[in-house]
Amino acid sequence: MTTAGLWTLGLALAYTVWLVVGGRWVVARQEKGANFFVSGRTFSPWTVAFCITGLFSGSSYIAIVELSYRTGISAIWYGVAETVQIILIALLLVKPLRRKLVVTVTGIIGDRFGRAAQGVSAVITGFTFPMYSLATAIAFASALTVITDVSLWQSITLTAVVLFAFLVFGGMRSVAFSQTMNVIVIGAMFIVGVWALLASPGIDGLRDFAEANPQMTEPASAGVSLIVAWFGTFIVNVPLAQAAFQMSMSARTPEDGQRGLFLAAVIGAPLIILGVVVGIAAASVEPGDGLPLIAISEYITTTLPPWAAAVFFLGMWACALGWAGPCQFSGATSLGRDLGSALRPQASQEQLVRYTRVALVVLTVVMIGFSILRAEESAWWNIMAWTLRNGATFAPVLAAFFWPVATRSGAMASLLGGFGAGFGWYALSGFSATEFYLGTHPVWVGMIVNMVALVSVSLLEGRWRVTGDARRRARGAAAAGAAVALTALLVANWGWAAQYGLTGLALFLVVAALFAVVLLVTVPREGGAVPPEGSGARETVVAVSGAEAGSGAEPGAAESGTVAARLEA
């Protein structure tokens, strides 16, 4: 084991003990079940900002470092896309979700479509979150592999066990404590990273490398299709960003949640830039065709003194924990609380907390199992997770907000159809992280089938009519016109779109426009099982019993009896 390895293990061990012990200390006085899931809604804007920065900026940094090693400055678009997602969540969703008293995507689906849909979506969501966790854990595991004798899967196993240790006791309050600590450590990594850049290759070295490799300075060297996919995926993921919802819903007020998200976007910007430059610097000093994260770890080890390299790798550990911790907790919330309340509607808050802790054990084992199966490519696991979860839950979540015509059987067909289509397309692609069947990303296929299945099954049940509202019909006509225009553009430029891998996204946009047409022009038929159309605005009133509120509503509200969650569209 190298000297840097000893330093890294020592710092990582001390830091990990502090996270576990400190996290347990800060939650020692919190006994209520409500505090476990949303920390009693006491977060300040800065607490929310640290939570979101650790979640998104940490994961972005790891992805950008890996991408920029291969593609240069174009990797910055990944960080820009994720920042756009943060801003859209703040602008569009924090206040509506707070009014509806929900903190999980599966809770939204369950409140609207019943316990069966909630159970299915909870299982899909719960088992995809360890994939997200694993994707970032691979970065620190790669560093340990370079400086110690620990293998990739063994390092990931350590990460999974640590996550369980500090999450199982304190829930969301432990997440807040660990995220604050992670941001501090990531700040130290930033300083050391700047030191490494100045030491080697230096400003002149970077300039020389850029001149010798002009492709590394091209804004679109990662590929237009991949960059568009980043923006498309992050924007589409806005209504599905469950971990971010839980953090922002833990704020004292919706306004505090919004401020925290805006602060996180500002704090994360320098880290995004650093990730790009570190990746390019590593490519100039340690060029090769191997795994980028391994090469980056070798660059840091050879450039900095052992203790400084250890500080940098500790920052990578904090990035991994900053993303993986909230993902594991959010996945366990779906698998434990939401699935538990779907199977046992009368479960108390204490029972739901216990189910969530059991789910944390299960997801820890699942994450370790995933690492044994495949621990080389973080992008592979991200693609799998995006495809399965977004392909299943995209349309049902939108329908829960905007389409009272949607039925329970339509939601179930959408969940299973989108999940199966996305997985099947990825299988046809040979489960490749870069080459997809017919050049189409599987997430687009999954979400297309997801929307088509929901609309088809719901309309076939016949409990709808065409709206008489002139404004809605005009908007529907505009959406139909957009669908026709997009189709004409795609047909006229099919060769170009296929060349850049944009056909999948284009088809998704066409279907999404048609989906909007249906949502705008169809309303419930009078006397049906769903609420009739109101005058001007539509209101969907969901009565949630005290026990069922634990599935997706605020736990504190669940304890007080019946919650009427009103959503105005």
70 found inside a domain: yes
Q: Residue 465: pLDDT above 90? A: yes
Q: Which helix (H) or strand (E) holds 3?
A: helix 3-26
- Total of domains in the chain: 2
The pLDDT value given to residue 562: 27
- Average confidence score pLDDT of the chain: 83
If asked whether residues 366 and 422 sit together in one domain, one would say: no
CATH of the domain at 262: 1.20.1730.10
82 shares its domain with 115: yes
The answer to whether position 554 is within a domain reads no
- Asked if 356 and 424 sit in the same domain, the reply is no
Using the 3D structure, point to which of 317, 344, 378 is the last residue of a domain.
378
- Parent domain of 275: 3-25+37-378
- pLDDT tops 90 at residue 433: no
Contact 52, 246 (CB under 8 A): no
User: Per-residue pLDDT for 544 more than 90?
Assistant: no
Same-domain status, 365 and 425: no
Rounded CA-CA distance 538/223 in Å is 42
317 and 182 Cβ atoms separated by less than 8 Å: no
Partners of 464 in the β-ladder: 524
> Which of 526 and 542 is assigned the larger pLDDT?
526
CA distance 24 to 365: 22
Same domain, 410 and 510: yes
Confidence of residue 564 (pLDDT cuts 50, 70, 90): very low
Contacts of 92 (CB under 8 A, 6+ apart): 238
Q: Map residue 501 onto helix, strand or coil.
A: coil
Burial class (CB in 10 A: 0-12, 13-18, 19+), 140: buried
CA angle 369, 181, 354 (to 5 degrees): 50
**Domain assignment present for 549:** no
pLDDT in tens, 471-514: 999 999 999 999 999 999 999 999 888 887 788 889 999 999 99
Q: How far is C-alpha 305 from the geometric centre of its chain's CA atoms?
A: 35
In the block, tokens 């066409």 appear at 510
Q: Which amino acid is at 204?
A: D
Letter string b/e over residues 4-31, b meaning 16 or more CB atoms within 10 A of that residue's CB: bbebbbebbeebbeebbebbbeebeebe
User: Which residues, 6+ apart, have CB-to-CB distance to 497 below 8 Å?
Assistant: 490, 503, 506
Name the nearest CA neighbour of 27 among 224, 162, 170: 170
DSSP string, 179-201: HHHHHHHHHHHHHHHHHHHHHTT
Q: How confident is the model at residue 27 (pLDDT cuts 50, 70, 90)?
A: low
Residues 6+ apart with CB under 8 A from 551: 106, 107, 110, 111, 115, 118, 337, 338, 341, 342
Among 230-234, 303-307, 529-533, the minimum mean pLDDT is found in 529-533
Same domain, 325 and 430: no
Q: Is residue 412 part of a domain?
A: yes
- Of the pLDDT bands very low, low, confident and very high (cuts 50, 70, 90), residue 563 is very low
CA angle 247, 253, 254 (to 5 degrees): 70
> Do 425 and 357 lie in a common domain?
no
Tell me what pLDDT residue 567 has. 30
- Answer yes or no: do 368 and 418 share one domain: no
Top-confidence residue, 336 or 559: 336
Place of tokens 């005290």: 546
Q: Pick 140 or 331 by higher pLDDT.
A: 331
Q: What digits encode the pLDDT tens for the residues 101-112?
A: 566 888 889 989
Q: Is residue 566 a part of any domain in this protein?
A: no
- Going by C-alpha positions, the residue among 5, 62, 68 that lies closest to residue 282 is 68
Task: Give the burial class of 37: count Cβ atoms within 10 A of its Cβ; 0-12 exposed, 13-18 middle, 19 or more buried.
Answer: buried
> Which residue shows structure tokens 């900053």?
322
Q: Are 429 and 442 in contact (CB under 8 A)?
A: yes
Residue 548 counted as domain residue: no
Question: For residue 435, is it within any domain?
Answer: yes
Question: Same domain, yes or no, for 91 and 133?
Answer: yes
Average pLDDT over residues 259-286: 92
Shared-domain flag, residues 241 and 365: yes
* Predicted confidence (pLDDT) at residue 45 exceeds the cutoff of 70: yes
Alpha-carbon distance 503 to 383, whole Å?
18
Query: Has residue 563 been placed in a domain?
Result: no
Residue 118: per-residue pLDDT: 94
Work out the pLDDT band at 269, boundaries 50, 70, 90: very high
DSSP 43: B
Kindly indicate the confidence band of residue 299, based on its pLDDT and cuts at 50, 70 and 90: very high
Same domain? 316 vs 175: yes
Strand partners, 522: 466
- Is pLDDT above 70 for 30? no
Structure tokens at 418: 């989108």
Q: Are residues 151 and 281 in the same domain?
A: yes
